[in-house]
């Protein structure tokens, strides 16, 4: 497997606090990787470093592209997005006074960069055609089950639906990697089940690589192929769901509560 994203000795200090300390990780093309850890472990900070929202203290982040390896640290978030890294936030960030359709289209104004046309070549033929002929918004609305609410203001929709819009908006850019920060937070069981199907769709239909921060262990253990565990800024474990559930360091980090599916 080709490492799409390689993180080497990545660190972030806030004053005296090691929020992220010497983290090594990699994400292969097509993988679904979860990042877990107790509250305050540094998960969101790590996403912020990878997507350029927060400058790193030290380390290296490398993205493999069709034209070679690109160093991401020091690049602006908008340039990192153009390289194909998309994300959602823990607190939903939609244009609440814009319709669902306009939210997707606002994301897509950033799509017509040189990489977009390379990125859509990865899409299955039926999406590729729609992306090229301009039916991409309709295709996304349909695929994310948002057609019925397309003309409603995003801010008036139920929470679970707003989450879906946010993920659709990230997918609209035809990214290489999509980072989802606690997508199931605040969702009811029915919405979580829908979310799981949607994340699976991102991979199978949209051929995206997914990195997921999530506290819902059932979702993590059922979806992820590989899991990284952060605790106090350090990567304390990496492995399959089965390996992580019986890892002594992970169990200790969760104060004996264990990590059960």
Ligand X SMILES: Nc1ncnc2c1ncn2[C@@H]1O[C@H](COP(=O)(O)OP(=O)(O)OP(=O)(O)O)[C@@H](O)[C@H]1O
- Own/partner pairs, 132-136, CB within 8 angstroms, 24+ separation: 136/108, 136/172
Q: Assess 202 for contact with ligand X (CB under 6 A).
A: no
Residues 7-46 interacting with ligand X (rule: CB under 6 A): 14, 17, 19, 37, 39-45
Question: How far apart are alpha carbons 34 and 203 in whole angstroms?
Answer: 14
Which backbone phi and psi does 170 adopt, to 5 degrees? -65, -40
Rounded to the nearest whole angstrom, what is the least distance from the CB of residue 27 to ligand X in the complex?
18
Considering CB under 6 A, how many residues would be counted as binding ligand X? 11
Q: Looking at beta carbons only, is 18 or 79 nearer to ligand X?
A: 18
Rounded to the nearest whole angstrom, what is the least distance from the CB of residue 213 to ligand X in the complex?
7
Q: Looking at beta carbons only, is 119 or 214 nearer to ligand X?
A: 214
Rounded to the nearest whole angstrom, what is the least distance from the CB of residue 18 to ligand X in the complex?
9
Non-local (6+) Cβ contacts of 224 within 8 A are: 32, 33, 34, 212, 241
8 A C-beta contact, residue 139 and residue 146: no
Burial of 94 (0-12, 13-18, 19+ CB in 10 A): buried
Q: From edge to edge, which strands make up the β-sheet containing 17-28?
A: 17-28, 3-14, 58-65, 68-71
Rounded to the nearest whole angstrom, what is the least distance from the CB of residue 20 to ligand X in the complex?
7
Rounded to the nearest whole angstrom, what is the least distance from the CB of residue 189 to ligand X in the complex?
21
Rounded to the nearest whole angstrom, what is the least distance from the CB of residue 124 to ligand X in the complex?
34
Q: Looking at beta carbons only, is 20 or 83 nearer to ligand X?
A: 20
Residue 140, classed as helix, strand or coil, is helix
Residues 107-126 interacting with ligand X (rule: CB under 6 A): none
CA 44 to chain centre: 11
Where on the chain is the footprint of ligand X (CB under 6 A)?
A: 14, 17, 19, 37, 39-45
């Amino acid at each position: 497997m080709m490492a799409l994203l390689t993180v080497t000795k990545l660190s972030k200090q806030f004053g005296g606090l090691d929020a992220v300390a010497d983290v090594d990780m990699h994400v292969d093309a097509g993988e679904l990787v979860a990042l877990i850890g107790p509250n305050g472990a540094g998960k969101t900070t790590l996403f912020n470093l990878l997507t350029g929202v927060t400058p790193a203290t030290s380390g290296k982040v490398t993205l493999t592209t069709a034209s070679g390896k690109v160093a991401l640290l020091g690049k602006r978030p908008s340039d990192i997005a153009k390289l194909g890294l998309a994300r959602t936030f823990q607190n939903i960030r939609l244009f609440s006074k814009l319709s669902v359709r306009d939210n997707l289209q606002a994301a897509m104004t950033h799509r017509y960069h040189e990489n977009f046309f390379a990125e859509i070549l990865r899409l299955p033929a039926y999406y590729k055609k729609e992306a090229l002929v301009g039916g991409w918004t309709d295709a996304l609305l349909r695929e994310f089950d948002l057609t019925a609410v397309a003309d409603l203001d995003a801010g008036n929709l139920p929470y679970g639906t707003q989450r879906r819009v946010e993920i659709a908006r990230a997918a609209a850019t035809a990214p290489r990697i999509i980072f989802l920060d606690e997508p199931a937070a605040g969702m009811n069981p029915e919405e979580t089940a829908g979310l799981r199907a949607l994340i699976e769709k991102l991979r199978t239909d949209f051929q995206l690589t997914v990195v997921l921060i999530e506290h819902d262990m059932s979702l993590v253990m059922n979806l992820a192929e590989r899991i990284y565990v952060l605790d106090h800024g350090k990567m304390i474990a990496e492995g399959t769901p089965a390996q992580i559930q019986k890892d002594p360091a992970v169990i200790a980090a969760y104060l004996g509560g264990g990590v059960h599916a």
